[in-house]
Chains A and B, each alone.
Chain A
Amino acid sequence: MTKKDDETQRVQYLLDIEYHYAAGELATRFFTELKEAGRIMGMRCSGCHRVYLPPRPVCGICYKELKDWVPLSDEGIIVGCTVVHLPFIDPMTGEQRPVPYGFAIIRLDGASTSIYHFVDETDEKKLRVGQRVKAVFREPRTGSLHHDIKYFRLVGK
């Protein structure tokens, strides 16, 4: 507790929340493939052929149950991006990442949906929608999308 130059007490506090959750059947397979083979897997709908990443049990468009796993590329394109200067809390560590850092919504080749990830670029002029990116893996892998892939790097024009 600190006291500033006025008369009012300021109360400092830290809420530190550690939590675990059971990933469920599909995410268990997804994380296991990632850890053991370094492979990013999506699920394809047999009706509309959309490929969901991360995997989900039912197609949101067709309401068909998804059964087909498909390996996806470790490359894709940026569909949304920013350079973060006011960091949010990284749930891998509970801490804020050092700023600035690149952050993007990425559509991997072969997927119909997008994931978010970090990008190894903080120059706003180089981060563009449509820019191709490639995953940079970290060893040893633990089966966490935001640990095993350190970040995405930009690839040639």
Chain B
Amino acid sequence: MDEWVVHQRIKIPFMYTAGRALTRFLEGLARGEIWATRCASCGRVYLPPLNFCGRCWRGIDRWCQLPPLGELISYTIIQRPLPEHPDRSPLILGLIRLDGADTNLVHLIGDVDPSEVERVTRVRAVWRDERPASILAISHFAPLT
């Protein structure tokens, strides 16, 4: 008897409220701007922005705009995209530290062959023409040449 394979599927629709800081971040992205928060106590710059500094245990209400430029800290090459990923492979997901930020952002790395990505150090955001209030207002990050 051939081995039986069971095919199943689960779909989970959900919604979350982005909160004050993330709302401002998302609305900034729709305008082509990247906004971070800076803790008044330790000076750490959070991107994506947080309303609260977990180290200093205090609220954050200072905002600063960051340039769409940064450093590629790490990356992974995805051979089998998940449903929420763009439907092509391989994909490169990068860990990006924008200039001035103390935390990292995950985004797609594009305009580079996966075999070449190891050499990439500096990246820039490539904006979509139609920008939603979403991290996908940035299409991907491309090597800065």
A residues with CB within 8 A of B: 1, 3, 7-24, 27-29, 31-32, 89, 91-95, 143-144
Provide the B1-40 mask, 1 if CB < 8 A to any CB of A, else 0: 1111111111111111111101100110000000000000
Are B13 and A20 closer than 8 Å at their CB atoms? no
B residues with CB within 8 A of A: 1-20, 22-23, 26-27, 83-84, 132-134
Are B12 and A32 closer than 8 Å at their CB atoms? no
> In angstroms, how far is the closest chain B Cβ from the Cβ of A31?
5
Are A92 and B13 closer than 8 Å at their CB atoms? no
> In angstroms, how far is the closest chain B Cβ from the Cβ of A122?
24
Measured in the bound complex, the distance between the Cα atoms of B8 and A144 in whole Å is 11
Contacts known (A10-B16, A11-B18); A19 close to B23, Cβ less than 8 A? no
The winner among A1, A8, A9, A19 for most chain B CB atoms within 10 A is A9
Are B27 and A143 closer than 8 Å at their CB atoms? no
> In angstroms, how far is the closest chain B Cβ from the Cβ of A121?
26
Measured in the bound complex, the distance between the Cα atoms of B22 and A92 in whole Å is 36
Residue in A9, A21, A32, A143 whose CB lies within 8 Å of B26: A9
> In angstroms, how far is the closest chain B Cβ from the Cβ of A16?
5
Chain B residue numbers with a CB within 8 Å of A23 are 3-6
Are B23 and A32 closer than 8 Å at their CB atoms? no
Are A17 and B4 closer than 8 Å at their CB atoms? no
Chain B residue numbers with a CB within 8 Å of A18 are 7-9, 83
Measured in the bound complex, the distance between the Cα atoms of B1 and A114 in whole Å is 26
Are B9 and A10 closer than 8 Å at their CB atoms? no
Are A21 and B13 closer than 8 Å at their CB atoms? no
> In angstroms, how far is the closest chain B Cβ from the Cβ of A9?
4
Measured in the bound complex, the distance between the Cα atoms of B19 and A70 in whole Å is 58
Are A10 and B18 closer than 8 Å at their CB atoms? yes
Chain A residue numbers with a CB within 8 Å of B2 are 28
Listed by A's residue number, 16 A-B pairs whose Cβ atoms lie within 8 Å are: A1-B133, A3-B133, A8-B18, A8-B23, A9-B26, A16-B10, A16-B11, A20-B7, A23-B6, A24-B3, A28-B3, A89-B11, A91-B8, A91-B9, A92-B8, A144-B6
